[in-house]
Amino acid sequence: MSKLLISLFLILILGIALGSTVNSSVNISEVLETEDQKDSQANTEWRENLDSKEPVEATFAGGCFWCIEAVYENEKGIESAVSGYTGGKESTATYDQVLIGDTDHREAVRVNYYPSVISYEELLDMYWKSINPTDEGGQFSDRGYQYTTAIYTHNDKQYSLAKASKENLSESGKFEEEIVTEVLNASEFYRAESKHQNYSEKNTLQYKAYEQASGRKGFVERVWEKSPIS
């Protein structure tokens, strides 16, 4: 089932449930907007004492890029999180091409961050705790190579840290299965179409419905939430 159909189905159910259980005086849109404003304000305060250095790039593939982008958006120390396609040899990539496997790109997110505020190790921790690193066929309801997991590193330090982080997770015993997430050198990154950018913020209900129906939310809550890698 496509992401859109899953989202629409869940929204319909959610709408029925909300209509019967939520006080009519509560405006859902206003509540969501208020929360967004709080997040936005919290994410701007750290910039006041920021040094003048340029942000550093990091790239993560973890299945549907809507979900990985949502992990990093509005986090302190992160300048931007952009959905796109990477890892392929083709000189271009679009959503339709990648979706049907016409290219060997993965859906991915490029993060621009300030190491003085948030470390690469913290980004890695956030990444692991948003995926199933043992799934070699995709992520949750999204199947195919384009949805498999990989960490694309931009320099030797990132590569070493990513490899060490993967080894640490593997040795932690948290998963019985092998950790199959690849650690690779970063390659050309193609920005996804505008409708896919900031999807969780622009289409909050649709995103939440998809996240739930895909199985990702349940997995993250069951396996990762409040659970350190140890």
Residue 18 tokens, joined: 């909300």
Distance CA 112, CA 127 (A): 14
67 included as an active-site residue? no
Residue 73 tokens, joined: 């958006």
Q: What is the CA radius of gyration of the chain?
A: 18
Longest alpha-carbon distance in the chain: 56
Please name every residue paired with 112 in a beta bridge, in sequence order, or none if there are none. 57, 80
Contact present, 99 and 143 (Cβ < 8 Å): no
Q: Are strands 142-143 and 138-139 parallel, antiparallel or unpaired?
A: antiparallel
Residues in the chain: 230
State whether the Cα torsion 80-85-192-225 is positive or negative.
negative
E-strand stretches of 76-215: 78-86, 106-113, 138-139, 142-143, 149-153, 182-185, 189-191
Q: Which one of the listed residues 10, 56, 64, 183 is annotated catalytic?
A: 64
Active site residues: 64
